[in-house]
């Protein structure tokens, strides 16, 4: 049995004739008659009594009519429920690291909220461990983490790519060198993120892959992106930043061995409602549009 056959049966019942019902449904009369025949064959009873130009419900047809009304009402209830979900309304919370919270999410969420007046979003900043725990414990709805991520209880969607560069103040002495070597960098002080930072872990992994003996002389370990940027702009050392957060007062150091990449992922619990999946899709779509506007190197 197909739901359209129920719709056809109800239309015939209300119209009183196959001809009127076929016209309203946009079908030919033979096509409509065939569908009712198939319906009656599956039910094993006749639901319509044909006589002259009009039709009437049989005794079995009267019973089936009541079931059909209930099925139609249930279908309309389902459609209405999912239509409300598609409106993407309600309050949702997001946790992400400093770079994403400060330089990426504000632009993306601004555009989403313009299009979704019934949507309310809150963002809280946390390092990789804090964000992951918050999502798993249900303290936030959605997290943005650096991959790879292996959690069977989470849906994981690729968000965007990020490139990390060694940087320093534009007037830092390191830029007096025509060619920068590892020996030059060993003499410098470094301003780094705290050890729990995903960015720092990515950088350390990259450095150790080609220079296991190198241990940077750490002058500062800071938690916020803003603190790192201000310290680097003040000339207090060399640091590592996402390409998204490198401002005009800082300059990339041409030492390609230290350039690294990472990927961000959207994560949310698998047992979450459909509204959260819609929000994730909306964020991904907006991120793609935002990245296209920034240029091919952004994503």
**Does residue 81 carry a pLDDT above 70?**
no
Out of 86, 116, 137, a domain closes at: 86
CA distance 97 to 99: 6
Can you give the pLDDT at residue 225? 92
Q: Are residues 255 and 168 in the same domain?
A: yes
Same domain, yes or no: 147 and 229: no
Measured CA to CA, the distance from residue 122 to residue 144 in angstroms comes to 13
Instruction: Say yes or no: 198 and 229 in one domain.
Output: yes
Q: Per the domain annotation, does 247 fall within a domain?
A: yes
pLDDT of 64 higher than 60: yes
Domain count, the chain: 3
Q: Is residue 8 part of a domain?
A: yes
In tens, the pLDDT along 251-270 reads: 999 998 899 999 999 999 99
Please indicate, yes or no, if residue 299 is contained in any of the structural domains: no
Determine what percent of the chain falls in helix, strand and coil, rounding each to the nearest 5: 50, 25, 25
Range of the domain at 247: 163-262
- Both 74 and 190 in one domain: the answer is no
pLDDT-derived band at 291 (thresholds 50, 70, 90) equals: confident
Question: Residue 118: inside a domain, yes or no?
Answer: yes
The reported pTM is 0.64
In a domain, 136, yes or no: yes
| Higher pLDDT, residue 147 or 106 | 106
Same domain, 276 and 136: yes
Mean residue pLDDT across the chain:
88
Average pLDDT, integer, range 228-245: 95
Distance CA 199, CA 215 (A): 17
Same domain, 269 and 154: yes
Written as one string, the DSSP assignment of 192-224 is EE-TT-HHHHHHHHHHHTT-TT---EEEEEESS
CATH number at residue 238: 3.40.190.10
**Domain-terminating residue out of 86, 117, 135:** 86
Q: Is the pLDDT of residue 174 over 90?
A: yes
Structural domain includes residue 283: yes
């Amino acid at each position: 049995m197909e739901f359209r056959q129920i719709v056809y049966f109800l239309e015939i019942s209300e119209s009183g004739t196959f001809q009127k019902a076929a016209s309203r449904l946009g079908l030919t009369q033979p096509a409509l008659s065939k569908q009712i025949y198939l319906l009656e064959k599956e039910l094993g009873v006749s639901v319509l009594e044909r006589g002259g130009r009009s039709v009437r419900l049989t005794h079995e047809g009267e019973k089936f009519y009541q079931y059909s009304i209930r099925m139609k009402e249930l279908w309309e209830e389902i459609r209405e429920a999912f239509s409300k979900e598609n409106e993407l309304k309600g309050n949702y919370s997001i946790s992400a690291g400093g770079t994403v919270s400060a330089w990426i999410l504000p632009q993306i969420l601004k555009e989403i909220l313009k299009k979704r007046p019934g949507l309310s979003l809150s963002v809280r900043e946390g390092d990789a461990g804090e964000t992951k725990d918050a999502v798993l414990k249900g303290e936030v709805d959605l997290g943005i983490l650096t991959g790879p991520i292996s959690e069977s209880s989470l849906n994981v969607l690729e968000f965007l790519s990020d490139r990390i560069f060694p940087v320093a103040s534009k007037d830092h002495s390191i830029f007096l060198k025509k060619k920068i070597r590892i020996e030059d960098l060993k003499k410098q002080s470094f301003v780094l993120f705290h050890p729990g930072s995903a960015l720092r872990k990515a950088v350390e992994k990259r450095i150790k892959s080609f220079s296991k003996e190198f241990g940077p002389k750490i002058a500062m370990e800071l938690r916020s992106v803003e603190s790192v940027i201000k310290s680097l702009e003040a000339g207090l050392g060399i640091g590592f930043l996402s390409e998204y957060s490198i401002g005009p007062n800082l300059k990339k150091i041409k030492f390609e061995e230290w350039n690294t990449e990472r990927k961000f992922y959207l994560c949310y619990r698998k047992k979450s409602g459909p509204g959260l999946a819609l929000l994730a899709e909306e964020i991904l779509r907006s991120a793609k549009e935002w990245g296209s506007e920034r240029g091919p190197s952004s994503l």
